[in-house]
Structure 1
Amino acid sequence: MTIKVIGAGFGRTGTYSTSKALSHLGFPSYHMFEVLDRRKNPGHLDFWHRVANAPAGIQHDWDTVFHDYAATVDNPGCCVWRELVNAYPDAKILLTVHPGGVEAWYESTIRTVYFTESWQFRLLIAAIPVARKFADMAHKLVWHRSHQDTMSDRAAAIAHYQRHIEDVTATVPPEKLLVFSVDQGWTPLCNFLDVPVPETTFPNLNSRTAIRLRAFRCWIENIQLIAARPMI
């Protein structure tokens, strides 16, 4: 299997719902939750931590993590969208945007996934090495490299979001790009990928509550994995 769809949109732009939609359409999709699922993907966090600590623009063996997937959306893949475009030249580019606009995107991000930058989270994970590695990866790859350290300044973060959209649309040929909002439903996505429109309802899984619960379950599973290891 190879990557056929590269998600260039920032996290919290409907990426979880879009990931599920792509998987339903026959494009198994990679999302940040795949990194957190260490039972299924035991080496993935280590891989992305190496990417985060390497210079930007360097090519890696992306198939190490993407070999079972045909699409990637959300972090960490969107942080290296340029590298992935070069690595998978036949892939189509999916630029997800928040259906509520840039202000809604900022509020959603600050109130959910940006918690990894909080002192409370740092204190909570101080004694958990795998969580510290995840936080270091997220800080360097997502908040520093991708978001250019803008999230603590609302105006700067919003301007950077808009620049990112302009950058992607200026870089990717129009015939290979879909700017997509989840409130558009199946039709534009299916037309873009040349697949039939399903009769089922488009997934709606990106609420703040759903994301928090999913992340909480991932962390509990990781703690259980650590606890199950034999003491040396």
Structure 2
Amino acid sequence: MEHPKSGADGDGLLVIHVALYRMATRSFAEAYRILGYKTHHGTEDLLGNPWVGIEQAVEATWPDIPHARPRPRFTRQDWDALWGDEYDIVTDLACPFSDQLIAAYPKAKIIVVQRDFESWWASYQAGVLDHIFPRRQWLTVWLIRNVLRSRAADAMIKVNYGLFNATNMAGIKDNARKTYDEYYRNIRERIPAERRLEYTMGDGWEPLCAFLGKKVPDLPFPRLNDSAYRKRSQQAGEMVVFLTSAKKLARLALAIGAVSMAFWHMSI
């Protein structure tokens, strides 16, 4: 069972989960919770994520990406404010900042998860890029940005520009393989083998629990990334955006109607 996070000890993040988006991060989030860690997984609460802080972290990391505002590099205090004061582990949204988080939390254990490039890239394009660049999801992106006033779409677009050293979708695709290779090579060159676990998807609980010093749970390792589950999650996320937008627009329409009626009464 997940325990409440206490900032009194000042430990911050206890585990750095090193994996790119679309590498079973949802399954790992559930696994970490079963082991008792307070875990943040971004796609579970699209509108509730700290998007402003994430966007600032991106701009501080990659100041030359399109539409970035100059910001100082994030410090341990900044990372604590974003995640470390409340969570033990961040699965997906922390992936662009793995090297900074490893430096900020030197006592944290490091778990590296990697799937082969070809299957990952196909999943990444369908599961990430097609949902944040407006070509296919233009209405959802427009509602998030203009009705809900959320920085979710803008933050994720900037994440991808920075992560892939690109300024458009074509650049992201051109740099995909290089980004993938460099991401994992940099981590392995920096972090000694004894400080990290190289986890292969399908290994189950045993290597993870041995590395973290946890008892092996008496239940199967979570598997929440099959295509049917992803489709249901995507539809649920879009429905949240549409319903929240509809409620906000309805309130706005009522307010405009009330003001219009007041002016009409004043004019007669």
TM-score interval (norm. to shorter): 0.7 to 0.9
Matched, 1:119 2:129: no
Residue of structure 1 equivalent to 2:39 = 29
> Which amino acid is the alignment partner of residue 107 of structure 2?
D
Residue of structure 1 equivalent to 2:8 = none
Deviation (angstroms), 1:158 = 2.5
Q: Under a length normalisation based on structure 1, what TM-score does the superposition of the two structures give?
A: 0.84
Matched, 1:53 2:54: no
> Which amino acid is the alignment partner of residue 237 of structure 2?
C
Deviation (angstroms), 1:37 = 4.7
Residue of structure 1 equivalent to 2:110 = 93
- The match for 1:211 among 212, 219, 230 is 230
The count of aligned residue pairs is 222
Matched, 1:69 2:92: no
1:98-128: CA deviation from partner (whole Å, max 9, x where unpaired): 2xx2211111111211212241223543244
Residue of structure 1 equivalent to 2:27 = 17
Bigger Rg, which one: 2
How far apart in 2 are the matches of 1:68 and 1:208?
31
- The match for 2:212 among 193, 214, 223 is 193
Gaps of 5+ in 1: none
How far apart in 2 are the matches of 1:226 and 1:46?
19
Gaps of 5+ in 2: 6-11, 63-71, 256-268
Q: CA RMSD in A?
A: 2.3
The answer to whether the 8 A contact 1:126-1:132 is kept is no
CA change 1:197–1:93 in 2 (3 A) is: same
Residue of structure 1 equivalent to 2:173 = 152
How far apart in 1 are the matches of 2:126 and 2:149?
19
Q: Under a length normalisation based on structure 2, what TM-score does the superposition of the two structures give?
A: 0.74
Residue of structure 2 equivalent to 1:7 = 17
